[in-house]
A and B are shown apart, each in its own frame.
Chain A
Amino acid sequence: MTPAVLEIDASPTTVRLLDAGPLTDAHAEAWEKFQSLPVPARTDEHWRFSSIKALDLSAYTAPQPIDDTTREELLARSTGLAASAGRMVFANDTLLRREVLADTLRQRGVLWLPLDEAMRNHGDLFRSRFMREDAILGGAKFAALHASQARAGTFLYVPRGVEIDLPIEAFHWLTGEGGSIFPHTLIVAEAQSKVTFVDYFESPESTAGFACAVNDLWLGDGAQVTYVCAQNWSGQALSVQINSTVVGRDATAKALTVNLGSRYARSESVSHLRAPGGRSDMLAVTVAEDAQEIDQRTFQIHEAPNTASDLLYKNALDDSARTVFSGLIRVSPGAHKTDAYQKVRNLLLSDEAEANSLPGLEIEADDVRCTHGATSGQIEDEELFYLLSRGIPLRESQRLIVYGFLEEVLQRLGSEPIAEKLSALLHAKFDAKH
Chain B
Amino acid sequence: MSTDTLDIDRTRGDFSYPEQHTFDAGTGLTHDTIDYISGVKGEPDWIREFRHKALDTFLAKPMPTHWASHDLENIVFKNIRYYLANAQKPKRSWDDVSEDEKRTFERLGIPEQERRFLAGVEAQFDSEAVYSNIKAAVGEQGVIFCGSTEGLKEHPEIFRKWFGKVIPTGDNKFSALNSAVFSGGSFIYVPPGVKVKHPLQAYFRINAENFGQFERTLIIADEGSEVMYMEGCTAPKFETATLHSAVVELVAMKGAKIQYITVQNWSANVFNLVTKRAIAHEEAEVKWIDCNIGSRLTMKYPGVILKGRKARGEVISIALAGDGQHQDTGAKMVHAADETTSNIVSKSISLGTGRATYRGLVHIPKHLKGCKNNTECDALLINSTARTDTYPAITVRGTGNSSQHEASVSQISAEQIFYMMSRGLTEAQAMSLSVNGFVNDLVRQFPMEYSVELKRLIDLEMEGSVG
Contacts and interface: CB of A to CB of B under 8 A. Distances in A.
Tell whether A pairs with B: yes
A360 B367 contact: no
A291 interface: no
A367 interface: yes
Contacts of A333: 384-385
A98 to B, nearest CB: 46
B383 A356 contact: no
B123 to A, nearest CB: 40
B393 A362 contact: no
A355 interface: yes
Contacts of A44: 66
A358 B391 contact: yes
Given A351-B366, A352-B366, A367-B411, A373 B396 contact: no
Interface stretch (B30-38, B171-179, B398-406): B398-406
B402 A377 contact: yes
A275 B404 CA distance: 33
A43 interface: yes
A376 interface: yes
A355 B392 CA distance: 13
Nearest to A338: B409
Contacts of B409: 361, 363, 368-371
B394 A357 contact: yes
A44 to B, nearest CB: 7
A351 B368 CA distance: 9
B366 to A, nearest CB: 6
Interface stretch (A29-37, A68-76, A229-237, A342-350): A342-350
Given A348-B397, A352-B398, A360-B390, A366 B404 contact: no
B408 A348 contact: no
Contact of A359 (B67, B364, B402, B405): B405
A353 B397 contact: yes
B386 A366 contact: yes
A373 B399 contact: no
Interface in A362-385: 362-379
A421 to B, nearest CB: 30
Contacts, number: 134
A353 B392 CA distance: 20
B396 A366 contact: no
Contacts of B382: 366
Interface string A143-177: 00000000000000000000000000000000000
A364 B399 CA distance: 38
A430 interface: no
B388 A346 contact: no
Interface string B365-397: 011000000000001011111111111111111
A353 B397 CA distance: 6
B240 interface: no
B399 A350 contact: yes
A363 B388 CA distance: 5
A361 B355 CA distance: 12
Nearest to A340: B409
A351 B389 contact: no
B396 A346 contact: yes
Point out which of A355, A369, A374, A375 has the most chain B C-beta atoms below 10 A from its C-beta: A374
A48 interface: yes
Interface of A: 43-45, 48-49, 333-334, 336, 346, 348-379
Interface of B: 66-67, 364, 366-367, 379, 381-411
Given A367-B384, A368-B381, 5 more contacts: A353-B399, A370-B408, A372-B390, A375-B404, A378-B399
6 contacts: A353-B397, A357-B393, A359-B392, A376-B403, A376-B404, A378-B400
